[in-house]
Structure 1
Amino acid sequence: MSGVGNTLGAVQAATAVSGFLLGCLIVQGYGYFKRYARDPWGIKCTLAIASVHFRVITFIRLILLFRTLGAAQQLSMVAADYNMSIDNFGERDILARLPTSFGVAFFLDLFNSPLVESFYFWRIYKLTDKLWPCAIGTVLSWLRCAGWTVFAAQGAKEGYSNFSLLDSHTWLLAITVGYGLVANICVASIMVVFLYQNRNTTFMRTKVIIDRLILYTVQTCLITGLGYGTTLVTFLTMKHTFIWLGILACTSRVCTNCLLAELNDRPMRPRLGCEMYRSDATPDTDTPLEEVEHHSSKLFQYSTRE
């Protein structure tokens, strides 16, 4: 049996860090709804991009509403921590028969990553009009969720600290964690290439915003990719502990926090013909309104790199 430090200690550390990230998520969610609560109604009246923006914001709100499960997950983790640390203090056998609340917390966390990744692929489809790659990526994300569900069901039945369970499902867990790393790299690479290709514009404000979005994309990929990569390495080297499981739980919260951070920091859409300047800082009076609208529409789509 693994030691208390890398089992019970890992659960306690994950509970503390996950609680902090949940607090950040609640604050960012409040800020988003307060700042962008009327996004759909305002954008519906704005030229040709109204329906696109409405669908984007509606989908994001569904994700945020689904994140109420984060509170339930946190309560389950606290309950499991209390049960193992207080109710069964000094009983090492508790590590062989984890409480039900531990399995509940694990199950509630399964749907976070597929939801966020599905939005990423949906956004790429809206920008590139490439259906099949995005559809395949979305299906693989939910297949990964199905794989986690199988492991969660087996863990609830046999015990998550059962060495034979971990050994027999090593290939499944390695694939599911590894896909999270691959999906983040693919999404970030596609977005960076697409944004860079569309950076060739005479509008300075457009260039500044696109450069800013490229930086956000790379930063998000590094943060989430580091989380999944650390989880994968920790699992392959110390799979008979709960350290990798704690890192995975925190990584899923980090993904959602990154999404909300970019949502709250996205630039407000400029008024057509008022804040669009050429790179030489000279207003372009000869540019047709249709071209300005085109750049503004693209700008708005870029600004939703959630």
Structure 2
Amino acid sequence: MNSLARSATDFNARLVIGPIQVGGLLSAALFGCLVCQSYVYFARCTSDHLALKAAVSAVMLIQLGHFVCMISTLWTMTTSTYGDPSQLGVLPLAADLAIPLSSFTAFIVQTFYAFRLWRLSENIFLPILCEMISVVAQISTLVFVPSAITMTDLTTFEHDQLLLIALSLIARAACDLITTTGIARSLKKKRGSGLKDTVTMIDRLIYWTIETGLATSLMAVTVAALFLALKQNFVWFGVWLMWPNVVGNSLLASLNRRLLLRENGRAQSRGGAVNAIVFGAGVMQTQADPLENFKNRGVEVFQEAEL
């Protein structure tokens, strides 16, 4: 199939409109999760640095714009062009505008993770490498956006901008994988404490890091693979609609999970106090030192992991 300009006889809605509808509905559900997570964050994490709150606010506002563009795209493809499949030879303008919005969301989140990697590892090389890869992906995206807006045929656009689009998606995936690996290794190095509670907390942080990092990188790899293998339809674009909301939710999940660590830390502190009362003054002194060490060690790792 050399062009998406189809007659009514060879038009296949399952490969054109279907992926957009499915991806759009799932993206809307993910955006709802993002809104809920943002509410929890601003309600419970009031002591966070202003820069971190600004980053979360920017992601939320950008994804709101992405949501509006997605609704407009669905309207255009299912209502405005109904009965005239030839108009689907190009992406709607709203879809073109959603491309830079999604790239800005990914750039903000990847910059946050690069900064977190620097705080944890205290090594500047990997964070700089990750940020450079993210900048390359961002520039690649912004370079082909004008061509996307002015395109007259989607197949021709995909052929002409193949390298830039693939570079952008692969660079995003590479950046996520590097930061995830770097943060997990940095946390693993902090497991040197012999205290079981501290090791458990760090293991939990490692698990959460891998979980959120792999989710975003696998989404980027999936979009890139579908784009390279199925350029003749909109399957790749349907998956792409979900990708920026997955990225945004990974950021908010990473921030809001700190609340669980705080609650566990308070519970462990209360448990230590009860044990001290039960076992008497002599045992209380023996248990106070490891408890204090755990609190100091845990607070240190936790504060580094917060940023």
What SS does the aligned partner of 1:268 have? helix
**1:35 lines up with 2:44 in the alignment:** yes
Whole-Å separation in 2 of the counterparts to 1:35 and 1:292: 21
- Which residue of the partner structure matches residue 212 of structure 2? 220
Within the candidate set 83, 98, 122, 1:90 is matched to 83
Q: CA RMSD in A?
A: 2.6
What amino acid maps onto 2:230 in structure 1? M
- Which residue of the partner structure matches residue 21 of structure 2? 12
- Which residue of the partner structure matches residue 59 of structure 1? 51
* Aligned positions, number: 282
- Which residue of the partner structure matches residue 180 of structure 1? 172
> CA contact under 8 A between 1:8 and 1:95: conserved in structure 2?
no
Within the candidate set 41, 61, 67, 1:68 is matched to 61
Within the candidate set 293, 300, 303, 1:300 is matched to 303
- Which residue of the partner structure matches residue 159 of structure 2? 167
Whole-Å separation in 1 of the counterparts to 2:293 and 2:79: 67
- Which residue of the partner structure matches residue 8 of structure 2? none
- Which residue of the partner structure matches residue 122 of structure 1? 115
Give the structure with the larger helix fraction. 2
> Which has the higher mean CA deviation after the structures are superposed, 259-268 or 205-214?
259-268
- Which residue of the partner structure matches residue 247 of structure 1? 239
> CA contact under 8 A between 1:178 and 1:228: conserved in structure 2?
yes
**Structure having the higher Rg:** 2
TM-score, normalised via structure 2 length: 0.83
Whole-Å separation in 1 of the counterparts to 2:90 and 2:170: 28
> Which has the higher mean CA deviation after the structures are superposed, 260-269 or 142-151?
260-269
Q: CA deviation at 1:166?
A: 0.9
Per-residue deviation, residues 258-305 of structure 1 (Å, max 9, x unmatched):
22122212211747x94697xxx9854456978953552223223x27
Identity of aligned residues (%): 22
What amino acid maps onto 2:296 in structure 1? E
What amino acid maps onto 2:18 in structure 1? G
Within the candidate set 84, 101, 107, 1:108 is matched to 101
Q: Residues 98 and 259 (structure 1 numbering): CA distance in 2 closer, same or farther, change over 3 Å?
A: closer
- Which residue of the partner structure matches residue 280 of structure 2? none
Unmatched tracts of structure 2, length 5 or more? 5-11, 277-282
Q: CA deviation at 1:4?
A: 3.0
> CA contact under 8 A between 2:223 and 2:237: conserved in structure 1?
yes
What amino acid maps onto 1:108 in structure 2? L
**1:143 lines up with 2:136 in the alignment:** yes
TM-score, normalised via structure 1 length: 0.83
Per-residue deviation, residues 234-259 of structure 1 (Å, max 9, x unmatched):
11110232221221231221121122
What SS does the aligned partner of 2:15 have? coil
Whole-Å separation in 1 of the counterparts to 2:176 and 2:89: 34
What amino acid maps onto 1:143 in structure 2? V
Whole-Å separation in 1 of the counterparts to 2:217 and 2:133: 17
Q: CA deviation at 1:87?
A: 2.0
Within the candidate set 264, 268, 275, 2:262 is matched to 268
Whole-Å separation in 1 of the counterparts to 2:103 and 2:79: 27
Q: Residues 276 and 144 (structure 1 numbering): CA distance in 2 closer, same or farther, change over 3 Å?
A: farther
Whole-Å separation in 1 of the counterparts to 2:93 and 2:109: 27
Whole-Å separation in 1 of the counterparts to 2:63 and 2:256: 20
> Which has the higher mean CA deviation after the structures are superposed, 125-134 or 290-299?
290-299
Q: Residues 84 and 274 (structure 1 numbering): CA distance in 2 closer, same or farther, change over 3 Å?
A: closer
Whole-Å separation in 1 of the counterparts to 2:206 and 2:225: 28
Within the candidate set 164, 168, 190, 2:182 is matched to 190
> Which has the higher mean CA deviation after the structures are superposed, 219-228 or 188-197?
219-228
What amino acid maps onto 1:296 in structure 2? V
Unmatched tracts of structure 1, length 5 or more? 41-53
Q: Residues 299 and 75 (structure 1 numbering): CA distance in 2 closer, same or farther, change over 3 Å?
A: closer
